Structure 1
Amino acid sequence: MPILNVNCDECPVHRKSIFRGIDACDMLDLSLKKTCYFYRKGQMIFYEGKGALGIYCVNQGKIKIFKLGPEGKEQIIRVVLPGEVMGLRSVVSGRPYSASATALDDSVCCFISKRKFFQLTIKYPEISQRIMILLSQLLDGAENKITSLAQKSVRERLAETLLSLDEAFKSEKCNDGGIISLSREDLANLVGTATETVIRLLSEFKHDELVEIRGRKIKVLNKKELLKIGKAYYA
């Protein structure tokens, strides 16, 4: 559902935008040309295989990017937070969206057309540099996920995923400063395992005082021990 456009200069996540630093006239034009949409929890934003008409900048909420297997099993690739961009790789490559996107919470996303996107990337080389960095980070993330799925146990992957989400949510100052709020099914689809397995392992982590669990909310208590279990590296 389209809503009143958020002024880019006044956006709370403007400092993270790939378009930060453009001149005032172009910033105003971007604010006028983009379209902001409100998505309710569970609402689809775009579908895998559909033509990529532009990119989405997340203003509020959390979005899951996922692919469906042959039997309809969902594999979550990543969770997108405020200030981050969706659809970038597809727009740059000129190919359809390679995955689907659904709102995990009530969310606001700003849609920027391909035409406007490329106008700004041509005019501002620093935007292209930021895009290259983002695409490189996405590639690193994909390679790490493939390695993790192939070489780590479910217990190790869950510990690694909890640490990654904890860091991401803390850096975005969302969910009360690092509290992970995901359904057990979504967490399982992010880890790449069955929901029942995640529930069992979370109970073990809670018993060992590695995490605190209240309903669907998870708080990391013992980062050091989770690092050992997940064999992961976080600052």
Structure 2
Amino acid sequence: MQASTDPAWMVAERYGISEQTVWKWQGRDDVHDRSHTPHRLQTTLTPAQEAVAVALRKALLLPLDDLLAVVREFLNPHVSRSGLDRCLRRHGLGNLRALKPKDPKPAHGSVKAYAPGSLHIDIKYLPQMADEDRRRYLFLAIDRATRWVFVRIYPAQTAANAQRFLRDLQRAAPMKITRVLAEELAAGQGIEIDLTMPDGKGGRKYITPHVLKHTAITWAVQRGAFLPDVASYFSTSLETIERVYWHHSPDHQRSAVEAMDRRK
């Protein structure tokens, strides 16, 4: 075919092929068939979104359909199931069973049951992309009972971002959060965290996001924050801030003290 001097239409009729096929082979220097795989894979996810999807797969061990729901809600609403599957396979994460720990199961024992509202919170480092000047942090929470997932990405692992995450988590959670599990995160950083408080009966009870929010508001007022800003930031009415937290402010009863001082 390559050595033929006949017109392309004549060669095509002779071999029962299209003229385009004749032109393709006549333009090549070899006679070996080439791969039909596209040189550039079509993908909806950006490299940064792929990195987050990979981190979620490794951290949460979610099945493909569950991971697809999370990726569509938090990363890219247009990603397809097949596209996400190809992404996982490219990163060696296509087989979920192979990712799970292979520790032998105990002969006897009971599985601890969690009620909805028991959330595990973790933080993962994301790889730095070529167009970024620093790494980002993936904050994620998963409900142990329902497998509901909440995800946020922040540029730094700071107390302020942790507060933002807890606030947004409490707003978005479809269930009442009753327990926060962060033991694995604490162990990974060499820190011991006690997420309990006295229950008033000589025992201990778990700290809820409401308690953390109460503490954060108290600290903000103690530092002299503008009360309307506090109310807006913590999604709490100004009336509640003034009634419950105003006595923590350094300006509390200041005018009365100054008036008494002027009488001396």
Using CA pairs below 8 Å that are at least 6 residues apart, which structure has the higher relative contact order? 1
**TM-score, normalised by the number of residues in structure 1:** 0.29
Structure with greater Cα Rg: 2
More strand by share: 1
State the TM-score, normalized to the length of structure 2: 0.26
